[in-house]
């Protein structure tokens, strides 16, 4: 959790607000409905004090009981109307809020599904999750905590002012004379509270980050006897948090009584000045009472509005972060992408599910060529330099080299997780940047060393979202890579749910599952980023055998950490410091006595005679 | 606790004054209006006006003190509770953290704590104010006109009932919404962390669809809440409005009948308005209290969990960690998690200053054995000894200070590399030099120039910016840094490349000579030079001896050795 997450900008930013308002566009009807409900409700709320005036001035002096009954009836009507309008307003606004949150979440997730891997390199998953969940929720508070109803409060204020002027403009001026005082107090409160709110948020974020880290690493804390020192650090953060809060209490403690005092001053002024006029018969007693009642109602919306200020500020900060994400351009773009439709779909349709079955399939021999490819993750630090090679259909190619030699990068470029910066990559002579992204990727089956499992069943993890892959194919694929044995032992076989990211499966079992996945997709080209995790020798042999099955009859590009895996390959590419330094079969490369030979010696001969093959390249 | 009691006493005093002053306001208004109705001089009116301002000023002052004292005290309590909570977590054993998810513990330290604070701060403050206002307000209203009071309070029971009803329903629906939100989080987490698989297998539309379904369910549940919530506020307004209507209608009839003055009617109306707030607040406060109690119970669950591993049996027979020589002995050690026996009758002696290797398949009990040694789990009494002393008699701090443990998947902290290496270091002297020394042995020095600020580079959360090998090497340096008598390497170089591993092992050999060392590894080459090798299978020691003895014996170890040899011959062909 980084602290820049907590930096809050301006409380009101016209540019952000305008953009937020565009989300209302599809719902103009609802907005209009809500707005009229707000206005109507505000007007009806004005009735009771005026009715009181009429009662005091007209019906009580004349003792007209039926007139009193008539006023009561009007009162009841306004109450009922007020009830209906307020319900309408809340319902419409909150549903509107929900629709907008829905749209926004779909938009964010849709954009995340298209953003480049480069973006993911820079942004930890935790931060992105905050965008999808918390930040959108904060925006929702605009609707639920009634910030929008602040507009209703505003109408009420204006309405009260209008009625006062209409009833007696002189007394209205007297009542309004305290308004500058209100403005001053509110301004003082807002600027201070904003600052202290920001500080409190920063400290709470630190408390959370610290707790999260220490709880997950508690064993390490114990082993290294850090308890006392960690406690001291935590105590300090906790203390700062408390002090920031206590400071903010001060502002609230001053603000509420101050507003009430001003309210009392207004009532006193009305009584004093207006009382004189009542004595002089230039004002009725009823009007005076109504004035006092209106004055009491006048200050509640003001207090409310100040309360909602923090929410507004938080919402601005959140929307700024969300928009920053949505504005991040997607650089890697297929010529025509199936995701372009899905973006629109995400926004509007609820009834047409994405077309999973009509996945474009690559049809061609699938000859891969790297032509003078240059690439770096950071400008000025090339990871691949002028790399050229060809992989013919059906060929098996191994890529070896030390860590950081650029092996994994080759795979990432081939799948267009990143785009080359120099040279080009072609398939059957076509630059992959000219191809449709999905078609390109349909060519490959990727097996990563870190197996990612999704929640769902074992079968679901093999076929993923491709419903076209039948249960039978799933079963066959699992059996072919020896995964069938352990799957059959599970309580529900293929239908067994996968617990939290495969926590109940061993590393080796997860590997086998990922092989089954690759096999079920039956790709033209198998790409293998070989696992380095240490598994026991039994599983090791099982995995090795499964590999043979998966590679059978396919073009294979294997990034190998175990030289033993790739010795039987048609060709071995030796990467060294970003360059392709050697290429040939195992025997040829050994004969050259170059880098490969050295790697080979390191792995097999450096320690006496028996260096096992479970090491990392 | 004493200081809080005083704070609350002062706070309640302020509550009483605030209520008294607040309720006096309408009374003044009543006199003013009645006097105006009968004709009176302006001087009298200005006295009333002055009284209203003065009352508000006094009330405001006490309100200010009340808020500062009570809410301030609740922040103090929150601070103390959070510290205690953290301190208690520090005393709990690893098994506890395996049983409880981090997110759950976090939520108790944040959400639950904040609910508890709301209960002891604002809720106490408001319920005191509310209660007082309510009782005194009704008394005053009765003194003005008992009959009218009766009518005005007709809606009251309805208000209370609906507050209770809505409160419960809202709470339930709200929980269901929160559940769905965590579902959305889970899906997001999955799809984002698996971005490479999602892209490679073209799962984007499927993942978006999956998300859309969860998102729609979320909206659906919210709709259910809104249906109730939308009803709540207007109903309150309506019920209170009925009260006001009855007062205006029946009250003015009373005035006409001469049983009441206009001033009394206005004052009565003011009291009713004052009461409407407490009635609504009543529901809100009950809600706060309920949630606060529930949260407090959840926090107590943790506070009441006694630490499983303590210094209860500690004696000082071993002195401090500097006096430990490092002779380890296991006597008929049997250990089980629940009903699953993990270690079965293990006996072994690891002489001080020697190296012992442990070999065995995944799940054979190797890591458990190492955890017992550092008392991350407690071994049964009389089974594990260091220098002849049962480790349960050694203070935890001394025991753990003597052991430098390097796990296979080390946990690093979001600090600089140097801070991570010095994580367990005691004393400040020469820390930097010692960090660099330890880092050199772990061959972290090779990578240091590649980091932006060398050893002062901040590594991300959990060391996310480091490679697997770099993390393991940092962990090795961290263990060396505390200068342990016993060094434990639990498959600690699985992600380190072969060449670097050789370098580390050769640099370590000088260090290991002075220490008792335990190495767990899958690689025969790593363990072959150990003074003794223990072969574990299903929690039992099935073979023990030196490499040559074990190979000659032709058992499980020899078989493993054979397999790895074969592999290599195959490879060399």
pLDDT tens per residue, range B528-554: 889 999 999 888 999 999 999 999 998
CB atoms within 10 A of CB B298: 17
A402 touches chain B (CB under 8 A): yes
Whether B524 and A448 lie within 8 Å, measured CB to CB: no
pLDDT tens track for B274-323 = 887 777 677 677 777 888 888 888 889 889 999 888 888 888 887 787 78
Label residue A54 by pLDDT band (50, 70, 90): very high
For A442-463, give the DSSP string. Answer: HTEEEE-SS----SEEHHHHHH
Q: Are A63 and B256 an interchain contact pair (Cβ–Cβ within 8 Å)?
A: yes
For A289, the closest of B33, B192, B501 (CB atoms) is B33
Is the residue at A593 inside a domain? no
Q: State the DSSP string of A150-162.
A: HHHHHHHHHHHHH
Cα(A501)–Cα(A452) distance, rounded to whole angstroms? Answer: 7
A58 touches chain B (CB under 8 A): no
Chain B contact for A134 (CB, 8 A cutoff): no
In a domain, A53, yes or no: yes
Contact call for A260 and B82, based on CB within 8 A: no
Please report whether residue A561 resides in a domain: no
A518 belongs to a structural domain: no
Q: Per-residue DSSP letters for A339-383?
A: HHHHHHHHHH-SS-----TT-----S---EEEEEEEE-SBTTB-S
Chain A residue numbers touching B424 (CB-CB < 8 A) = 223-226
> CB of A374 within 8 A of CB of A421?
yes
Which strands make up the sheet holding B340-350, listed edge to edge?
Answer: B340-350, B328-337, B384-386, B389-390
Q: What is the pLDDT of residue B566?
A: 63
Residues in chain B closer than 8 A to A223 (CB atoms)? 374, 376, 400, 403, 405, 424
pLDDT in tens, A56-104: 998 888 888 899 999 999 999 999 999 999 899 888 988 998 999 999 9
DSSP secondary structure string, A307-324? HTHHHHHHHHHHHHHHHH
Q: Is B45 on the interface with A (CB under 8 A)?
A: yes
Q: What is the pLDDT of residue B327?
A: 93
What is the percent of chain A where pLDDT is above 70?
86
Tens digit of pLDDT for each residue in B45-84? 889 999 999 999 999 999 999 888 988 898 999 999 999 9
Q: CA nearest B344: which of B536, B94, B557, B546?
A: B536
Which residue of chain B has the CA closest to A602? B499
pLDDT for position A69: 92
Could you read off the pLDDT of A433-489 as tens digits, one per residue?
A: 988 888 888 889 888 877 788 888 889 889 888 888 888 889 988 888 888 888 888
Examine residue A360 and state whether it is found in any structural domain, yes or no. Answer: no
For residue A96, report the phi and psi dihedrals to the nearest 5 degrees: -55, -45
C-alpha atoms less than 13 angstroms from C-alpha of A309 in its C-beta half-sphere:
22
Confirm whether A503 is domain-assigned.
no
CA–CA separation, A290 and A46 (whole Å):
10
Q: What is the pLDDT of residue A234?
A: 93
Residue A543 lies in a domain: no
**Which residues 241-270 of B have a C-beta within 8 angstroms of A?**
241-242, 244-245, 248-249, 252-253, 255-256, 262, 265-266, 269-270
- The 3-state DSSP class for residue A467 equals coil
Check A465 against B206: CB less than 8 A apart: yes
pLDDT at A186 over 50: yes
**Which neighbouring-strand residues pair with B406?**
B489
Domain of residue A73, residue span: 3-327
Q: Do B207 and A113 touch (CB under 8 A)?
A: yes
Cα B320 from chain centre: 33
Q: Work out the minimum CA distance from A268 to partner chain B, whole angstroms.
A: 4
| pLDDT for A354 beyond 60 | no
- Domain of A201: which CATH number? 1.20.1560.10
Cβ atoms of A572 and A401 closer than 8 Å: no
Q: Do A90 and B234 touch (CB under 8 A)?
A: yes
Best residue of A41, A120, A268, A446 to probe chain B, by most B CBs closer than 10 Å: A268
Residue B179 has pLDDT above 90, yes or no: no
Distance from CA of A60 to the nearest CA of B (A): 6
The beta-carbon neighbor of B56 closest among A110, A126, A264 is A264
B371-392 pLDDT tens trace = 999 998 899 999 999 999 999 9
- B26 reaches A (C-beta below 8 A): no
Structural domains of chain A, count: 1
Residue A400: beta bridge partners? A574
Residue A429 lies in a domain: no
Which is nearest to A407 in space by CA: A616, A598, A573, A600? A573
A532 to B50: CB separation less than 8 angstroms, yes or no: no
Distance from CA of B388 to the nearest CA of A (A): 22
CB of A99 closer than 8 Å to CB of B219: yes
Share of chain B above pLDDT 70, in %: 97
> How far is Cα B51 from Cα B45, in angstroms, rounded to an integer?
10
CB B534 within 8 A of CB B359: yes
Nearest-Cα residue of chain B relative to residue A465: B206
Interchain contact A348–B (C-beta under 8 A): no
Q: Give the tens place of pLDDT for each residue, B464-486.
A: 677 778 889 999 999 999 889 99
pLDDT of residue A6: 44
């Amino acid at each position: 959790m980084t602290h820049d997450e907590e930096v809050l900008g301006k409380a009101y930013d016209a540019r952000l607000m305008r953009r937020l308002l565009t989300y209302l566009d599809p719902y103009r009807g609802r907005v209009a409905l809500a707005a009229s409900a707000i206005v109507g409700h505000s007007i009806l709320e004005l009735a009771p004090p005026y009715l009181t005036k009429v009662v005091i001035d007209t019906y009580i002096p004349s003792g007209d009981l039926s007139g009193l009954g008539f006023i009561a009836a009007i009162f009841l009507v306004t109450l009922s109307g007020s009830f209906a309008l307020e319900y309408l307003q809340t319902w419409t606004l909150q549903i509107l809020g929900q629709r907008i949150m829905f749209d926004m979440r779909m938009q964010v997730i849709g954009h995340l599904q298209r953003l480049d891997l480069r973006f993911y390199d820079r942004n930890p998953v935790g931060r992105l999750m905050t965008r999808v969940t918390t930040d959108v929720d904060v925006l929702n508070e605009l609707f639920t905590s009634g910030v929008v109803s602040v507009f209703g409060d505003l109408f009420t204020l204006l309405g009260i002012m209008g009625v006062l002027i209409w009833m007696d403009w002189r007394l209205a001026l007297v009542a309004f004379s305290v308004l500058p005082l209100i403005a001053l107090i509110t301004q003082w409160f807002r600027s201070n509270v904003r600052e202290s709110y920001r500080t409190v948020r920063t400290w709470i974020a630190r408390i959370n980050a610290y707790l999260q880290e220490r709880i997950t690493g508690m064993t390490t804390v114990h082993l290294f006897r850090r308890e006392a020192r960690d406690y001291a650090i935590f105590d300090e953060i906790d203390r700062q948090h408390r002090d920031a809060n206590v400071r903010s209490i001060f502002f609230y403690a001053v603000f509420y009584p101050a507003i009430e005092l001003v309210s009392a001053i207004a009532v006193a002024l009305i009584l004093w000045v207006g009382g004189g006029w009542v004595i002089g018969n230039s004002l009725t007693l009823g009007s005076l009472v109504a004035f006092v009642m209106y004055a009491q109602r006048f200050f509640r919306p003001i207090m409310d509005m100040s309360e909602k200020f923090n929410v507004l500020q938080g919402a601005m900060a959140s929307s700024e972060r969300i928009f920053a994400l949505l504005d991040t351009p997607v650089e890697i773009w297929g010529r025509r992408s199936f995701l372009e439709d899905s973006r629109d779909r995400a926004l509007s349709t609820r009834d047409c599910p994405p077309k999973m079955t009509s996945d474009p399939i690559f049809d061609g021999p699938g000859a891969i060529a790297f032509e003078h490819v240059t690439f770096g993750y950071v400008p000025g630090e090339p990871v691949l330099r002028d790399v050229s090679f060809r992989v013919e259909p059906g060929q098996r190619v191994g890529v070896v080299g030390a860590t950081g030699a650029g092996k994994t990068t080759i795979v990432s470029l081939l799948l267009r997780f990143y785009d080359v910066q120099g040279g080009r990559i072609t398939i059957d002579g076509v630059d992959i940047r000219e191809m449709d992204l999905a078609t390109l990727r349909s060519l490959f089956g990727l097996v990563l060393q870190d197996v990612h499992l999704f929640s769902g069943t074992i079968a679901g993890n093999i076929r993923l979202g491709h419903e076209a892959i039948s249960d039978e194919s799933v079963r066959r694929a699992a059996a072919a890579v020896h995964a069938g044995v352990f799957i059959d032992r599970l309580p529900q076989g293929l239908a067994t749910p996968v617990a939290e990211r495969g926590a109940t499966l061993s590393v080796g079992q997860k590997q086998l599952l990922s092989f089954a996945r690759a096999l079920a997709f039956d790709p033209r080209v198998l790409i293998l980023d070989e696992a380095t995790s240490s598994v026991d020798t039994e599983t090791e042999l099982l995995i090795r055998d499964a590999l043979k099955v998966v590679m059978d009859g396919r073009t294979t590009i294997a990034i190998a950490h175990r030289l033993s895996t790739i010795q039987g390959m048609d060709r071995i590419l030796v990467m060294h410091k970003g360059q392709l330094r050697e290429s040939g079969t195992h025997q040829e490369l050994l004969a050259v006595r170059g880098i490969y030979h050295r790697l080979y010696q390191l792995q097999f001969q450096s320690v006496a005679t028996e260096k096992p093959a479970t090491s990392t390249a | 606790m004493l200081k809080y009691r005083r704070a609350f006493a002062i706070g309640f005093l302020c509550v009483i004054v605030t209520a008294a002053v607040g309720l006096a306001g309408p009374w003044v208004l009543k006199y003013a209006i009645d006097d105006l109705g009968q004709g009176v001089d302006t001087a009298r009116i200005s006295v009333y006006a002055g009284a209203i301002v003065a009352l508000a000023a006094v009330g405001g002052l006490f309100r200010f003190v009340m808020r500062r004292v009570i809410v301030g005290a609740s922040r103090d309590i929150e601070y103390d509770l959070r510290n205690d909570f953290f301190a208690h977590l520090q005393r709990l054993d690893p098994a506890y953290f395996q049983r409880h998810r981090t997110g759950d513990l976090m939520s108790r330290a944040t959400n639950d704590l904040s609910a508890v604070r709301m209960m002891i701060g604002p809720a106490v403050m408001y319920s005191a104010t509310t209660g007082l206002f309510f009782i005194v307000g009704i008394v005053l209203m009765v003194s003005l006109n008992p009959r009218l009071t009766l009518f005005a309070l007709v809606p009251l029971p309805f208000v209370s009932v609906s507050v209770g009803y809505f409160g419960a329903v809202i709470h339930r629906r709200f929980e269901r919404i929160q559940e769905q939100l965590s579902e959305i989080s889970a899906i997001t987490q999955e799809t984002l962390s698996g971005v490479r698989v999602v892209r490679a297998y073209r799962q984007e539309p499927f993942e978006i669809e999956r998300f859309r379904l969860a998102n729609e369910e979320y909206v659906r549940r919210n709709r259910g809440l809104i249906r109730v919530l939308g009803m709540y506020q207007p109903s309150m307004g309506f019920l209170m409005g009925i009260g006001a209507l009855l007062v205006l209608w029946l009250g003015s009839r009373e005035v006409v009948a001469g049983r009441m003055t206009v001033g009394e009617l206005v004052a009565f109306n003011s009291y009713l308005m004052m009461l409407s707030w407490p009635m609504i607040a009543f529901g809100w406060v009950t809600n706060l209290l309920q949630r606060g109690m529930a949260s407090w119970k959840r926090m107590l669950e943790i506070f009441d969990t006694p630490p499983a591993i303590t210094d209860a049996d500690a004696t000082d027979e071993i002195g401090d960690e500097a006096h430990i020589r490092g002779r380890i002995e296991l006597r008929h050690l049997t250990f089980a998690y629940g009903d699953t026996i993990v270690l079965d009758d293990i006996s072994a002696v690891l002489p001080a200053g020697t190296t012992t290797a442990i070999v065995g398949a995944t799940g054979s009990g190797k890591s458990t054995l190492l955890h017992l040694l550092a008392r991350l789990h407690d071994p049964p009494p009389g089974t594990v000894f260091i220098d002849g002393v049962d480790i349960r008699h050694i203070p935890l701090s001394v025991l753990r200070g003597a052991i430098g443990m390097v796990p296979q998947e080390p946990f690093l902290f979001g600090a600089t590399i140097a801070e991570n290496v010095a994580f367990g270091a005691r004393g400040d002297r020469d820390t930097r030099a010692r960090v660099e020394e330890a880092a050199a042995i772990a061959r972290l020095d090779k990578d240091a120039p590649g980091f932006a600020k060398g050893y002062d580079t901040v590594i991300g959360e959990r060391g996310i910016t480091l490679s697997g090998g770099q993390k393991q090497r940092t962990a090795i340096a961290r263990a060396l840094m505390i200068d342990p008598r016993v060094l434990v390497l639990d498959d600690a170089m699985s992600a380190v490349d072969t060449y670097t591993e050789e370098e580390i092992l050769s640099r370590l050999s000088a260090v290991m000579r002075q220490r008792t060392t335990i190495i767990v590894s899958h690689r025969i080459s790593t363990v072959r030079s150990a003074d003794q090798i223990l072969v574990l299978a299903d929690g039992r020691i099935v073979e023990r001896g030196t490499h040559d003895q074990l190979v000659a014996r032709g058992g499980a170890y020899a078989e493993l050795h054979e397999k790895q040899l074969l592999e290599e011959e195959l490879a060399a062909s």
